[in-house]
Amino acid sequence: MSLVQVSDLTVDFGDLRAVDGLSLRLEQGAALALVGESGSGKSTVASALLGLHRGTGARVSGSVEVAGTDVARAPEDALRRLRGGKAAMVFQDPLSSLDPYYAIGDQIAEVYRVHTRASRRAARARAVDVLDRVGIADARRRSRSRPHEFSGGMRQRALIAMALACEPELLIADEPTTALDVTVQAQILDLLHTLREETGMGLLLVTHDVGVAAESVDDVLVMRHGRVVEHGSVGAVLGAPSEAYTRELLGAVPRVDAPRALPEASQEAVLESAVVEEGVVEGHVVEEAVVEGVVHGEAVVEGVVHEEAVVEGVVHEEAIEEGVVLEAVGLRREFGRGKRAFAAVDGVSLTIRRGETLGVVGESGSGKTTLGRMLVGLLEPTAGEVRDIGHARVGVNPAVQMVFQDPVSSLNPRRSVGESIADPLRARGERDEGRIRGRVRALLERVGLEAAHYDRYPHEFSGGQRQRVGIARALAADPHVIVCDEPVSALDVTTQAQVVALLGELQRELGLALVFVAHDLAVVRQVSDRVAVMRRGRLVESGPADEVYGNPQDPYTQQLLAAVPALDPEIAARRRAARRRAAAQESARHESARRDADLRDADRRESAVT
Amino acid sequence: MSGFAGFALRRAAGAVLTLLALSVIIYVVFYATPGNVAQITCGPRCSPEQVHQVAQQLKLDDPLYLRYWHFLEGIVAGQDYSTGTSVEHCSAPCLGLSYQSDQQVMRIILTKLPVSLSLVVGAMVLWLLLGVGTGVLSAWRRGRFTERALTGVTLAGIATPVFVIGLVLMIVICGQLELLPFPEYVSLSDDPEQWAWGLLLPWFTLALGEAAYFARLTRASMLETLAEDHIRTFRAYGVSERSIVGRHALRGALAPIIALNANDFGSAVGGAVLVESLFGLPGIGQELVHAVNVVDLPVVVGMVLVIGFFVVVANAVADVLYAVADRRVVLT
Amino acid sequence: MSEAFVAVEAAGTGTQPVPAVSGARQFWRRLRVQRAALVAAIVVALLVLVALAAPLLTAIEGQDPTTYHPSLVDSARGGVPLGSFGGIGGDHWLGVEPQTGRDLFARLVYGARVSLGVALAATAVQVAIGVVVGVAAALGNRWVDQLLSRITDIIVAMPLMIMALALLAVVPSSFPRPVLVALIIGFVAWGTIAKITRAQTLTLKELDYVAAARLSGWGTLRIARRELLPGLAAPVITYAALMVPANITIEAALSFLGVGVKPPTPSWGQMLTSADVWYQAAPQYLLLPAGALFLTVLALTVLGDGVRTALDPRAVSRLRVGTGRKGEAKADGGVGTVDAGVAKPAKTVGAGVEKEVRS
């Protein structure tokens, strides 16, 4: 009997159909990933496996059977025995998924006691056990901590520990690493892998990230609009996709091992032919991601892109001759006062030249956003200075613009997008309404929207379209530098590729200098000429992108690159093995260090006695 | 927990600062008004000589900041008052002299304080029990008849002014049904049983309206918590609804309840004024209304300061409790 | 499963773009679907109408609120109204006041004027002071913020009833009483609105669209006017709507204690001052003003709740009406987030709204 058997599952929320006639099957101990972009219904499927739609007003039809329980028809108490007992779920955001008021050990013990008749004491002991098992050091003491005292990675470990408590047959992981940094993500994925090997439980992984799926499972099911697009082994689906959408999805995934630049020729060809297929949205032509992606992907294989990149590099060499447009000298920024003061950015110096892209990459807390805000003048540095074309600057300068991360909060919901874009024009003193409207319309069209969108409001646009509006607003100021702060991290991968392509085009067309701040190493590589790697407020390494990525010098950069999920399962396995070796060495080093310390302690005690 | 002790200490220091600022504001509002301060302070029936004496006592010729300093000194160190023939010492904390009743303000307040404290503290116990209980029941039975019925009752409680509740209770229970005698204050030390019986109706009067607010807040906070992600986690792990509501949702509502209780202590003191007036209880509320009607300024100012003192202290205590209840609060 | 979760998941398949709706229309649409709020709005409208038409109504009755009718009360029995049911009849629709014989209907409808007028004026004062102080604290430097926040804390902490009482003691009695009561309520109860405004302004200030406006080259004043103030409207209106019934209660309480609106100006609270003495002979003298107060405060509270629900973006899913979120076109990818009409207020602000300043 299969561990999970879903047939013809349909879920409706009101008049929205989230899942549409989906069937899948998962054998004991097997691992399957549901992959899809936002709104594909993948999380809804995961919830349906545990009957979590009951009582929420959602209409569920079709049959769902998990570990011998008929989820649709089972009585409430049978369903509760299934939940956590036979099938356990790990959620996306580890902070909000735990009760902030209770100790982590108590929460795990509570769940354990629901499914076993264990005593309080035994349940606590079990909690410590499983915490230890997922790699929480000093589990007994840490089990008394509340969730906010844990780091993101530790919280996700704790959630996995909760899932392990009752030794379930199936683990459902809903975007388990989306909220985590890439190095932590690698650790969590490795942990899931190890646990699966040890316990033989089945895994159903829900993710938007094809790389994460490739790292972790045997089979992949690609979803779109609530339907199955393609289902098969990882090697088959990712290696030789048969469906157009799968190819589009794969093509859009930025690769950390591919050098910079979208081949310019193919880009323009695509725009000219304006193939109107699936990628065309609401009447405006977008860069045909399907075609582009395929070209890109094949080019990588054939090594063609590399040559073109070299050609392009020459062009940039010329641009560099024209000189520096933005310079940061010894920037430092502190937050807080007195004892709580800390430096988010500490002694960072950078130069950005006309027409080039500088990628700034770092994990959360590295200070990259603070740096970006200082570069545009939204934050005053505590020390050091920012220079525009050689002149020291205080405050903002419309010639240095920014594209923001969050497509929701970056546009005033009460003003039409046209008015938002017109802001820099009006602020500059332009009074002629006709000229303003004309310029804004031209900008809207330039970023791939329609001129008629002038009078629309932000809520009528999708995330990707709002980012385009944000780009148009930045362009309205006629900037020579645009700092992009995580401009695509809130977007789905296909949209991401389109926005990145747009930025590249504009840069070539207008000779813009771009500072591209992001946590995603692959995206940064895709767009950058030079890359700066940040950690804890400092630059640990910087240089031409190919050098930094191809031959990283700093151990932190090496660690970062090793943690990026690979699309090829074989490479993924090799990297995992390498990470394990490194982790083993690390812990051995710690172990010996601790032994040494213990010995020293013992020595001291002895000498104290004598 | 040294960080926590430090927080409590800083909060206490903050309370002292707030009290100082409060005294400044009150002094400026009441003693720096245009018009003859000495005349107002002394009262409308004072003779010119008495007014002159008061003016000297208040050092009205000094600049404002010196006068305030004098006033503050009186509170901290005590003060001597000459009443023409004799000199009376008013020991710290001295809030001045009521020229209309020839009594020290502090003494007036001290005789009235037990009544008001009995009323407010007793009512607080009642409103917390009633309010939180109703709120929990509403959240637990959400979407059912019980919740709708309780929501209706709660709304009615909020919409009825405390003195209307008191009037109706008094007329129905004491007047028509004669279930209870008309409320009367008997000192707790004299006869605890009579004390409780006499205050029963005032307690309920003051507590009903407040309880309605607590019921609303408890219900809203619990529903908000129930919509949070971690509740989903426990549902997905088969934890029973009873435990989810009773353990996780209620815990989430605790901090807002504490915060509201601190704020409500202040408004309950205001409500106590009405209840005391209505039932004729000799508390500071009734005394304040009397002082306002006869314009006995020193008593009014003294009352406001004492009530302010209690409110500020209650708020500081609540802040510390809040930090204990919500460990996520950043201690600053 | 949480509703937000459902909504985010569900948002994916909605592709119908909704036409642009102006803020006011959307607000009305969201208010209208709440039946209780709609009924309350009608009741409030009627009350306002009665208050405005008070002279007309009393003219129809042929009475006025201030004329004494000693002939209609039994002075031998302490002023009990003559006639059945407290003197109800064709001349005096609701009977007359004990002792004075003034027409009860006239005093009741003129009382509505005082009640609503004082409450609205007080709310206006509170909003004006609160918004100015809150915005100044949020946009000012550290010292301005410290000073204003400290004062605000004191204003919030001090019992409104006590402060109002005390202030009423020192103000010369020549001042027109209803205006005075409105001003005093306004001046002692702006603290919470200032706190909400400050918190909201601080939140808005950090939003990316404000940063974008700065990068455009606009100055602080223009940014405050164009980007910040519109964002403050929702929480301020929400809180103001809840302040109106609270202010009505306070005015009634002050007048009940005999320090608020004084005779001959009629006020509901003032009518209740001696109602307990007369409840057997003239029960309507207790029941009418008490009922009027109850109805008014109830209707305004329910309406206030409705306004809050209509303006709270988190409440949108609870209402299940077609709004911006559902219409977010998804084909171009993106995030399923609630429209950022109002920055999510801090949890403590929620508690602040609950904690209306009362007696």
Given a cut of 70, whether residue C358 has pLDDT beyond it is: no
pLDDT at position A598, please? 63
> Which of B229, B247, B326 has the CB atom closest to A91's CB atom?
B229
In whole angstroms, how large is the CA radius of gyration of chain B?
Answer: 24
- Mean pLDDT rounded to a whole number for chain C: 74
Those residues whose C-beta lies under 8 Å from the C-beta of residue A455, and which sit 6 or more positions away, are A416, A418, C20
Residues C359, B277: C-beta atoms closer than 8 Å: no
The span from the CA of A292 to the CA of A300, in Å, is 12
Region of residue B78 (left: phi > 0; alpha: psi -120 to 50; beta: else): left
- Token representation of residue C106: 């006239």
Identity of the residue numbered B246: G
The span from the CA of C198 to the CA of C232, in Å, is 10
Identity of the residue numbered C22: S
Residues A114, B251: C-beta atoms closer than 8 Å: no
- Token representation of residue A321: 């001759």
Neighbours of B176 (CB within 10 A): 11
Chain A residue with CA closest to B243: the answer is: A110
The span from the CA of A323 to the CA of A390, in Å, is 10
Residue C89 sits at the chain A interface (C-beta within 8 Å): no
For helices C35-52 and C23-32, give the axis angle rounded to 10 degrees.
110
| Chain C contact set for B275 (CB, 8 A) | none
Position of tokens 């704020």? B263
The span from the CA of C75 to the CA of C67, in Å, is 17
Residue C1 sits at the chain B interface (C-beta within 8 Å): yes
> H helices of chain B, where?
2-31, 37-42, 48-57, 64-77, 105-140, 145-159, 162-169, 192-226, 229-236, 241-243, 250-279, 284-294, 297-325
pLDDT at position A421, please? 93
Q: Helix, strand or coil for residue B32?
A: coil
Chain B residue with CA closest to C351: the answer is: B256
State the Cα angle at B212 between B209 and B215, rounded to 5°: 155
Q: How many Cα atoms sit within 13 Å of A346 on the Cβ side?
A: 12
The span from the CA of A535 to the CA of A546, in Å, is 20
Q: What single string gives the DSSP state of each residue in C95-162?
A: -B-TTT--BHHHHHHHHHHHHHHHHHHHHHHHHHHHHHHHHHHHHS-HHHHHHHHHHHHHHHHS-HHH
Q: Helix, strand or coil for residue C330?
A: coil
The span from the CA of A569 to the CA of A234, in Å, is 7
Given a cut of 80, whether residue C172 has pLDDT beyond it is: no
Chain C residue with CA closest to A482: the answer is: C215
Given a cut of 90, whether residue C310 has pLDDT beyond it is: no
pLDDT at position A402, please? 94
Choose the mutation target among B7, B229, B230, B237 for the interface with A, i.e. most A CBs under 10 Å. B237
Identity of the residue numbered C299: A
Residue A156 sits at the chain B interface (C-beta within 8 Å): no
Band of residue C220 on the pLDDT scale cut at 50, 70, 90: confident
pLDDT at position C326, please? 27
Backbone angles phi, psi at A275, to 5 degrees: -60, 120
The span from the CA of C236 to the CA of A452, in Å, is 34
Residue A284 sits at the chain B interface (C-beta within 8 Å): no
The span from the CA of C183 to the CA of C247, in Å, is 11
The span from the CA of A219 to the CA of A230, in Å, is 11
* Nearest by Cα to A231 from A19, A22, A2: A22
Q: Residues of A144-160 as b/e, b for ≥16 C-beta within 10 angstroms?
A: eebbeebebbbbbbbbb
For helices C104-139 and C177-188, give the axis angle rounded to 10 degrees.
30
How do A219-224 and A227-233 pair as beta strands?
Answer: antiparallel
| B93 preceded by a cis bond (ω within 30 of 0) | yes
Those residues whose C-beta lies under 8 Å from the C-beta of residue A515, and which sit 6 or more positions away, are A326, A352, A357, A358, A360, A372, A375, A481, A482, A483, A484
The span from the CA of A422 to the CA of A433, in Å, is 10
Residues B232, A97: C-beta atoms closer than 8 Å: yes
Q: Which residues of chain B have pLDDT under 50?
A: 1, 329-332
pLDDT at position C169, please? 76
Chains that touch A (3 or more CB pairs under 8 A): B, C
Given a cut of 70, whether residue C349 has pLDDT beyond it is: no
CB C98 within 8 A of CB C281: yes
pLDDT at position A123, please? 94
Report the predicted TM-score, pTM, of the whole model to 2 decimal places: 0.78
Instruction: Please give the interface size between B and C, counted as residue pairs whose CB atoms are below 8 Å apart.
Output: 180
Choose the mutation target among B120, B164, B310 for the interface with C, i.e. most C CBs under 10 Å. B164
pLDDT at position A375, please? 93
User: pLDDT tens digit string along C222-270?
Assistant: 888 888 888 888 889 888 988 999 999 999 999 988 888 887 888 898 8
Identity of the residue numbered B326: D
* Nearest by Cα to A440 from A415, A459, A460: A415
Neighbours of C1 (CB within 10 A): 22
Position of tokens 């009530």? B307
pLDDT at position A372, please? 93
Backbone angles phi, psi at A194, to 5 degrees: -60, -45
C90-99's contacts with Cβ under 8 Å and 24+ in sequence apart are C91/C62, C91/C63, C92/C61, C92/C63, C93/C61, C94/C284, C94/C288, C95/C282, C95/C284, C95/C285, C96/C69, C96/C72, C97/C271, C97/C285, C98/C73, C98/C274, C98/C277, C98/C278, C98/C281, C98/C282, C98/C285, C99/C73
pLDDT at position B105, please? 86
Q: Which residues of chain A have pLDDT under 70?
A: 258-322, 594-610
pLDDT at position B183, please? 78
User: pLDDT tens digit string along B211-256?
Assistant: 998 898 899 888 888 888 889 899 999 898 888 988 888 888 888 8
Backbone angles phi, psi at A172, to 5 degrees: -105, 120
| Lowest-confidence region among C53-62, C92-101, C135-144 | C92-101
Position of tokens 């008929």? A70
pLDDT at position A516, please? 94
The span from the CA of C192 to the CA of C354, in Å, is 11
| B114 preceded by a cis bond (ω within 30 of 0) | no
The span from the CA of A175 to the CA of A173, in Å, is 6
Position of tokens 């790990």? A90
Angstrom CA distances, C148 to A99, C201, C208, C212, stand at: 36, 14, 26, 28
